[in-house]
Amino acid sequence: MFSLDDLPLARVPLLGGPTAVEPLGADGAWVKREDRAGTRYGGNKVRKLEWLLGEALESGLDVLTLGTVGSNHLVATAVYGQAVGIHVTAVVAPQPDTPTARRNARILHAHAERLYVAGTEASIPFVFARAWAAIRLFGGHAPAVFPVGGSNTLGCIGWVGGGLEIAAQVAAGELPAPDRIYVALGSGGTAAGLLVGLRLGGLMSEVVAVRAAPSWLASPVRVRRLAANTLALLRRHGAPAARLTDLRIVHGEYGPGYARPTAAAEEASARAEGLGLTLESTYTSKAYAAMLAEPGGTRLFLHTANSRPLEPLLATALDEVPASLVGLLRRS
Ligand SMILES: Cc1ncc(COP(=O)(O)O)c(C=O)c1O
């Protein structure tokens, strides 16, 4: 089987080994415990950051990235960046006010080197340009830029690893070959990398990407392009050819908007809690709702939100969302 170990690309070890697969109830549903990935902050960003931070570390660059004020990508990048000694600057944009967003804003503020506030979506390009120029001017070099959600080809390679890992777990008899794998869809890197990794690992499970972000970001075109570009990069380094078929995007669970609750997601979250899984409202409860709506066959749910204890990360955080960020939490 193709292995990422042979790639001539820098990687910083953050994952701490394969994440477990466990049965979920008794009707053919399984869960992959990505929520416990890494040592500091779990979830689907850890695999991406092994490669993104690996390259930044190798080239000695500070990092500039962007996202909403409650973004898991921003928290994970700031936390792991600090852990490996990289300065992380982030441009933060508005989002709906949720308990997770409030908590993430506090952790982000405590771990990022510097935050630039973009008070409206329209101002993001200008604030981003200002942040980039400041790093260039005062840091002496241009930063390594991580896109929204860490979803570029390098970030996708992390999830190629996730797909290969599931294929290896099936081969080792840890779970039956899934008919369908459910994953929340935001910036697309997780679903795209997963698709490539599964196919390179010889597994033909359908990838069901459940849209949890606006369609300009979470689009089928974007996922397919990311997957094709990632496979093309790996092919240049000896990966075999693979057909990137059986990807399906579910739009019906998104509801009224980003981070807005839906009745189906709330119901799914309560049912997951009954099985010992804690989901958050923006991504994982919507993906789980999609899986519940399609019973039958062997189904694997990727639990992509952190479940590692947050006390160590909150220990250095302010008790409330800092005044500079609180205006980004929008009520409607
Ligand atoms: C908890 C969680 N699940 C899933 C996703 C979606 O991942 P991607 O942006 O790679 O599509 C995100 C993205 O931020 C996330 O925070």
Each residue's pLDDT tens digit, 110-150: 999 999 999 999 999 999 999 999 999 999 999 999 999 99
Q: Which CATH architecture has domain 47-149?
A: 3-Layer(aba) Sandwich (3.40)
What's the gap in Å between 139 CA and the centre of ligand 1?
30
Residue boundaries of the structural domains of the chain: 4-44+151-302, 47-149
Q: How far apart are CA 197 and CA 192, in angstroms?
A: 9
Mean pLDDT of 300-305: 98
**283: Cβ below 6 Å to ligand 1?**
yes
Backbone angles phi, psi at 35, to 5 degrees: -60, -20
**152: Cβ below 6 Å to ligand 1?**
no
Task: Evaluate whether 4-44+151-302 and 47-149 have a shared fold.
Answer: yes
Q: How far apart are CA 284 and CA 136, in angstroms?
A: 37
**Residue 188: pLDDT band by 50, 70, 90 thresholds?**
very high
What's the gap in Å between 130 CA and the centre of ligand 1?
27
Q: Which atom of ligand 1 is nearest to the CA of 149?
A: 9
Q: Which residues contact 112 (CB under 8 A, 6 or more apart)?
A: 74, 78, 81, 88, 89, 90
Instruction: Report whether 92 contacts 67 (CB < 8 A).
Output: yes
User: What pLDDT was estimated at residue 26?
Assistant: 80
Q: Which CATH architecture has domain 4-44+151-302?
A: 3-Layer(aba) Sandwich (3.40)
User: What pLDDT was estimated at residue 86?
Assistant: 97
pLDDT 10s digits, 230-276:
999 999 999 999 999 999 999 999 999 999 999 999 999 999 999 99
Residue nearest to atom 7 of ligand 1 (CA): 186
Vertex 34 angle, CA 145 and 99, to 5°: 75
**95: Cβ below 6 Å to ligand 1?**
no
pLDDT at 287 over 90: yes
**149: Cβ below 6 Å to ligand 1?**
yes
Mean pLDDT of 35-43: 98
**193: Cβ below 6 Å to ligand 1?**
no
**304: Cβ below 6 Å to ligand 1?**
yes
Pocket test for ligand 1, best of 32, 41, 44 (most atoms within 8 A of CB): 44
**Residue 332: pLDDT band by 50, 70, 90 thresholds?**
confident
Pocket test for ligand 1, best of 304, 306, 307, 308 (most atoms within 8 A of CB): 304
Token pair of 283 as six digits = 């991504």
Instruction: Give Cα separations from 261 to 67, 115, 281 (angstroms).
Output: 20, 28, 6
